[in-house]
A and B are shown apart, each in its own frame.
Chain A
């Protein structure tokens, strides 16, 4: 037990060092586009890892990513209108808490469903949330809402996008540390048992309903946290952008391409797909994003169903 705590502490330290190094490189480049690009990729690492906690670890495929992501984003819009001076980190925590509550509620309502039936229920959730937001005038409704982004980053100076990038890096450290801790804990074994055979898991003593609720809550909460800074990033948020198909496709494609069995998978997937999409966006076509994710997902599902991680994992004895 003591060794696993020490190992987790070392891992968190390594993540913090890596995050500082990445931020340092961004500062050295001195181009604000690097931060915009970095924000998108790191956001997808958070989103993909959050999806993977439910979809990869327990095998419950959630198609309702945009519901949780947009709950985070729109809670920031609502808080901005209610308390404009509230610091963004608080908004992220509150947005995550809302999304986690919705995740818990979704779990209670849907987790007696399995397989494709669960997935369709989550898809329906996204439609319900989008309909509610579109008709909620306080947060802009169908016409959208503007959020005035401060010019300078608080505390650290420089452009505000640098602050957004640092917050997303911090979130990424928390999410990756959580995902890795789950993998190496009783919770991770319980999730894996649910994924492989739920009835056998119950027979082995695994409280499957409780564990699935933990997974939906964590996953939903982290997705909401990933979406919470979005209004400050885009400065104008409407249902079309908040519920964009890109988020749902990428959040699923990235773990599948990187590998769902480990926390490393969503990171690799997000860097590869997210990076490639951004390069294509500025060089060839802004419409090629979803196509890239879709084609890569099809290729990996056929050629490497265990993702990039699976290609490097040695076959067990």
Chain B
């Protein structure tokens, strides 16, 4: 598998606080990478630097062989990097179909190839909602959704952009055991369609089930990267989570 995403020596500070310190990370095409770390370790900052919500101050981010540095978030989405947010951020005045329609209009149809005709967009939106089990509520507003449905909408909207890389940022937070299973199945299914997945998560059961590789951030530094079973036994990782 070739590298789809390469993060090289990426650093980010907020004033005097070092959020990321020279992070190196490589994600191969088609793999499922788990990214874990205690609160404040820099996971979301790293995601924001990859997606363009924040600009890294040092280092570089390369996606599919092209540098992403300096590009706005929407340009990165068009290149194939999609994300879900830690706290669901639906377009609250728009129905679910319309929520999913926006990435199609502005991402899929903004690319040189793969344009979806206007008449076919509604059907594509409903297909996407059907894939995550939200077809019955397609014409509802997001306020009518439960917690897990909101997470599914986030994923459907990210998938509507037809990404090559999906970054799921704590998509299982606050969900029940059964709901976590549903999202796990969904992420594995998405990956089965050829989409590379980076999953940021605190629920270790889900992390171990989904991840083919695991990277650990602590205090803005990467302290481990490798086979999930080995990484969780790494003394430094255990110390970061459980203390001395």
Taking a contact as CB atoms under 8 Å apart, the answer to whether B74 and A202 are in contact is yes
Chain A binder among B82-90, B181-189, B209-217, B221-229? B82-90
Contact of B106 among A204, A261, A316, A317 (CB under 8 A): A204
The reply to whether A192 and B94 form a contact with Cβ atoms under 8 Å apart is yes
Across the interface, do A316 and B102 meet the contact criterion of CB distance under 8 Å? Answer: no
Nearest-neighbour CB distance to chain B for A2, whole angstroms, equals 10
**Contact status B93-A192, CB under 8 Å:** yes
Contact B105 A207 (CB under 8 A): no
Please name the 4 residue pairs, one residue from A and one from B, whose CB atoms are nearest each other, closest first. Answer: A205-B107, A205-B106, A202-B73, A200-B89
Map CB proximity to B onto A168-199 as digits: 1 under 8 Å, 0 otherwise: 00000000000000000010011011011101
The total number of A-B Cβ pairs within 8 Å is 89
Query: Would A203 and B85 be within 8 Å (CB), given that A189-B101, A192-B91, A196-B94 are in contact?
Result: yes
B72 contacts partner chain A, Cβ-Cβ < 8 Å? yes
* Interface size counted on chain B using CB atoms at 8 A: 36
Question: What residues make up the interface of A, taking CB atoms closer than 8 Å to B?
Answer: 1, 186, 189-190, 192-193, 195-197, 199-209, 261, 316-317
Within 8 A of A (CB), among B58-81: 72-74, 77-78
- B41 part of interface (Cβ distance < 8 Å): no
Instruction: List B contacts of A186 (CB < 8 A).
Output: 105-106, 109
Q: Give every chain A residue within 8 A of B137 (Cβ-Cβ).
A: 317
Complex CA distance for A195 and B140, rounded to whole angstroms: 19
Report 17 cross-chain contacts, Cβ distance below 8 Å, ordered by A residue. A190-B102, A190-B105, A190-B106, A192-B98, A196-B91, A196-B93, A197-B89, A199-B53, A200-B91, A201-B91, A202-B73, A203-B51, A203-B74, A204-B160, A206-B74, A209-B72, A261-B93
- Answer whether residue B157 sits at the interface, using C-beta atoms and an 8 A cutoff: yes
Instruction: Report the separation of the CA atoms of residues A247 and B95 in the bound assembly, to the nearest whole angstrom.
Output: 34
